[in-house]
Amino acid sequence: MTKHINQLFFNRTLVVFMLLAVWFIGAMSLRYFYHQQVSGYKNPINEQINQRVGMLSVLQAELIDKEFSFVGANLRQLGAMSIEAPQQVAAYAERLKNLNPTIWQLYVADS
């Protein structure tokens, strides 16, 4: 009788151990497939973000270059006017204030 009880206990322990092993393997498989799916979505999204950041930085550089070239052209024109007709510099800078406030700030700072 005790042999039968010991064998039954051994069988229950073996079954519980097997169920725990199957559960653990299943949980690890789900975790692995979940991480595969997440990384599958993350990689294209990160590539798109990097591409958009790159395009945005190029556009910002072009915009800054365009703005500085406009300011530089206006400053060159103001410099040429200050030599040729100094009385018109203030009026021209006042008109440029509407187009580009930076010119007016530079003119006021220079005064």
pLDDT tens readout for residues 9-58: 667 888 889 999 999 999 999 999 999 988 888 888 889 999 999 998 88
- CA nearest neighbour of 92 among 77, 102, 106, 109: 77
Q: What integer pLDDT is reported at residue 99 of this predicted model?
A: 66
Which letter, b or e, does each residue of 94-107 get, where b requires 16 or more Cβ atoms within 10 Å of its Cβ?
Answer: eebeeeeebbbebb
Structure confidence at residue 82 (pLDDT): 75
pLDDT-derived band at 4, boundaries 50, 70, 90: low
pTM recorded for the entire structure: 0.46
What's the confidence (pLDDT) of residue 23?
Answer: 97
84 or 36, which is more confident: 36
Question: What pLDDT shows up at residue 3?
Answer: 64
Tell me, letter by letter, the H, E, C secondary structure of 74-105: HHHHHHHHHHHCHHHHHHHHHHHHHHCHHHHH
